[in-house]
């Protein structure tokens, strides 16, 4: 199941890397290979206790295997172990980070920007909301009920008041609810989720931008999950329209470790206005941030960071550029196609209720039952029965409102439904959709 062929390239590449350090006196770190082997094989055995994330029959949580090039480049760079906090810690990898982040900014249509990589979407959003609080002091931050829970928690860390905006029945921000909140005049920032974590729903950005001219708030786009779908060629009209105006927002967060084929530890935050860099410094003038010699540590809340993440992302972009016709984009479109295919199969089966078609590549559905609690119980059983057949789904609790409109004569004895959820993130998922569906049917028959 695990690809090994590509690993041979690492030794060749280490030798190439080593040629950059010729002329130094010989030295060798001392260790007993046998001791390493014993421990390493013990680790391998321990690691067997995992779901088979890289396999296409793992179709549960947001887990996408890193591309081999990302794995290799990351591993290679560990022989140097650069720290992208400062140029002294990693000259080459700092430059590669700036280039890689620039590729992301260009993908969203930003020529000028300020940004960097960080540990993940949480850190990236923390920075974006910290800056939002500086730009709009004393004002509230709002995000939809279906936004990632990290926003409320981050606001509590930052001491910024947070309000959740009601979601509609498709998991998007409800515009009327937003308008009501804006009318009070104390909203500084609206967080727009470009692909919610639970259902991949995309908030109505074009309409929110229209409100901005009236109410003058800042917009932060949390595109941690969905950001790369801006490259897909098969989004529905409304979703496409939201991505097409993404460049009008003030800040964007995207997780290369979600859909960007990177190992964990790779998030990214970018700001449209480079002047926000001044908030990171106590006494530094704005002009500093136009210097080519910028140390990334001076525009980042985190200090030490793995240069390896930047190297891996840079290498992946080199192999699979972010172009609309390229392989990277085609594979994202394929993920959405896989999700639409699974959606249609589930919709055609009376035993299931499915709320709405996937906007990106996440499908959520629930068994048809007499009550919300009964449906939830059956969902959990199907989840377990599928796992026994090597089909690994996920479960999620979603508001019952998502399912009210679709003829579900279900007693609403609780306000949420435990649903089955699938993230069809791997390009291979499209080719495996029939197998996935068959296994799901068997599991359901059994339950």
Ligand X SMILES: *Cc1c(COP(=O)(O)O)cnc(C)c1O
Which positions lie near ligand X, rule CB under 6 A?
Answer: 120-122, 125, 148, 150, 193, 197, 222, 224-225, 255, 267
CB of 425 to ligand X, least distance (A): 12
Q: Which is nearer to ligand X, 97 or 203 (CB)?
A: 203
As given in the structure block, the two tokens for residue 43 are 């680790």
Which runs of E-coded beta strand occur in 206-361? 218-222, 251-254, 267-271, 352-354
β-sheet with 187-193: strand ranges across: 114-118, 267-271, 251-254, 218-222, 187-193, 140-144, 162-165
* Closest residue by beta carbon to ligand X: 121
Q: Which is nearer to ligand X, 60 or 89 (CB)?
A: 60
CB of 321 to ligand X, least distance (A): 23
DSSP H or E segment with residue 190: strand 187-193
CB of 257 to ligand X, least distance (A): 6
**For residues 295 and 93, what is the distance between their CA atoms, to the nearest angstrom?**
12
Q: How many CB atoms lie within 10 A of CB 173?
A: 29
Q: Which is nearer to ligand X, 100 or 410 (CB)?
A: 100
CB 313 within 8 A of CB 70: yes
CB of 148 to ligand X, least distance (A): 3
> Considering just the CA atoms, what is the radius of gyration of the chain in Å?
23
Q: Which is nearer to ligand X, 93 or 197 (CB)?
A: 197
Distances (CA, A) of 60 to 195, 229, 263, 394, 396: 16, 19, 18, 4, 10
Q: How many CB atoms lie within 10 A of CB 29?
A: 4
CB of 311 to ligand X, least distance (A): 19
Q: Which is nearer to ligand X, 84 or 125 (CB)?
A: 125
Q: Which is nearer to ligand X, 122 or 300 (CB)?
A: 122
Q: Which is nearer to ligand X, 146 or 418 (CB)?
A: 146
CB 402 within 8 A of CB 171: yes
∠ Cα 260 265 270 (to 5°): 65
∠ Cα 393 395 396 (to 5°): 145
**For residues 312 and 93, what is the distance between their CA atoms, to the nearest angstrom?**
10
CB of 287 to ligand X, least distance (A): 33
Strand 187-193 relative to strand 218-222: parallel, antiparallel, unpaired? parallel
For residue 155, the SS3 value is helix
As given in the structure block, the two tokens for residue 342 are 């699974």
CB of 258 to ligand X, least distance (A): 6
CB of 192 to ligand X, least distance (A): 10
DSSP H or E segment with residue 189: strand 187-193
Q: Which is nearer to ligand X, 243 or 432 (CB)?
A: 243
CB 262 within 8 A of CB 120: no
Q: Which is nearer to ligand X, 125 or 418 (CB)?
A: 125
Q: Which is nearer to ligand X, 56 or 195 (CB)?
A: 195
Q: Which residues does 369 contact at the CB level (< 8 Å), separation at least 6?
A: 375, 378, 410
Q: Which is nearer to ligand X, 89 or 399 (CB)?
A: 399
CA end-to-end span of the chain, whole Å? 29
CB of 375 to ligand X, least distance (A): 25
CB of 442 to ligand X, least distance (A): 31
**For residues 284 and 133, what is the distance between their CA atoms, to the nearest angstrom?**
19
CB of 63 to ligand X, least distance (A): 11
As given in the structure block, the two tokens for residue 387 are 């796992």
**For residues 31 and 38, what is the distance between their CA atoms, to the nearest angstrom?**
13
């Amino acid at each position: 199941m695990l690809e090994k062929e590509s690993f041979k390239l690492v030794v060749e590449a280490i030798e190439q890397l080593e040629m950059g350090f010729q002329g130094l006196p010989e030295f060798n770190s001392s260790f007993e290979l046998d001791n390493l082997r014993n421990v390493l094989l013990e680790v391998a055995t321990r690691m067997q206790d995992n779901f088979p994330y890289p396999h296409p029959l793992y179709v549960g949580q947001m887990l996408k295997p890193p591309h081999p090039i990302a794995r290799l480049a990351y591993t290679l760079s560990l022989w140097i172990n650069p720290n992208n906090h400062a140029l002294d810690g990693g000259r080459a990898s700092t430059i590669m980070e700036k280039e890689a982040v620039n590729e992301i900014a260009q993908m969203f249509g930003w020529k000028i920007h300020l940004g960097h990589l960080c540990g993940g979407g949480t850190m990236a959003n923390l920075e974006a909301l910290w800056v939002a609080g500086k730009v709009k002091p004393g004002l509230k931050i709002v995000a939809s009920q279906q936004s990632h829970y990290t926003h409320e928690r981050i606001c509590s860390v930052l001491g910024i008041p947070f309000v959740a905006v009601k979601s509609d029945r498709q998991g998007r921000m409800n515009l009327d609810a937003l308008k009501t909140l804006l009318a009070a005049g104390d909203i500084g920032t609206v967080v727009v989720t470009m692909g919610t974590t639970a259902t991949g729903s995309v908030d109505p950005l074009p309409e929110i931008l229209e409100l901005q001219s009236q109410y003058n708030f800042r917009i932060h786009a949390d595109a941690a999950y969905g950001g790369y779908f801006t490259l897909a060629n098969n989004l529905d009209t409304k979703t496409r329209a939201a991505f097409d105006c993404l460049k009008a927002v003030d800040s964007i967060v995207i997780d290369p470790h979600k859909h960007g084929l990177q190992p964990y530890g790779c998030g990214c935050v970018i700001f449209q206005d480079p002047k926000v860099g001044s908030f990171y410094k106590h006494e530094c003038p704005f002009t500093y941030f136009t210097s080519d010699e910028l140390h990334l540590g001076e525009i980042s809340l985190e200090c030490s960071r793995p240069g390896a993440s930047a190297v891996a992302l840079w290498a992946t972009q080199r192999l699979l550029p972010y172009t609309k016709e390229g392989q990277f984009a085609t594979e994202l479109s394929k993920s959405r196609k896989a999700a639409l295919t699974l959606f249609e199969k589930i919709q055609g089966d009376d035993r299931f209720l499915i709320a709405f078609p996937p906007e990106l590549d996440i499908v959520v559905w629930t068994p048809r039952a007499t009550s919300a609690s009964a449906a939830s119980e059956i969902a959990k059983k199907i989840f377990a029965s599928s796992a026994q057949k090597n089909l690994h789904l996920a479960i999620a609790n979603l508001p019952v409102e998502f399912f009210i409109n679709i003829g579900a004569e279900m007693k609403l004895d609780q306000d949420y439904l435990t649903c089955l959820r699938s993230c069809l993130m791997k390009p291979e998922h499209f080719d495996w959709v029939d197998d996935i569906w068959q296994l799901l049917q068997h599991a359901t028959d059994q339950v």
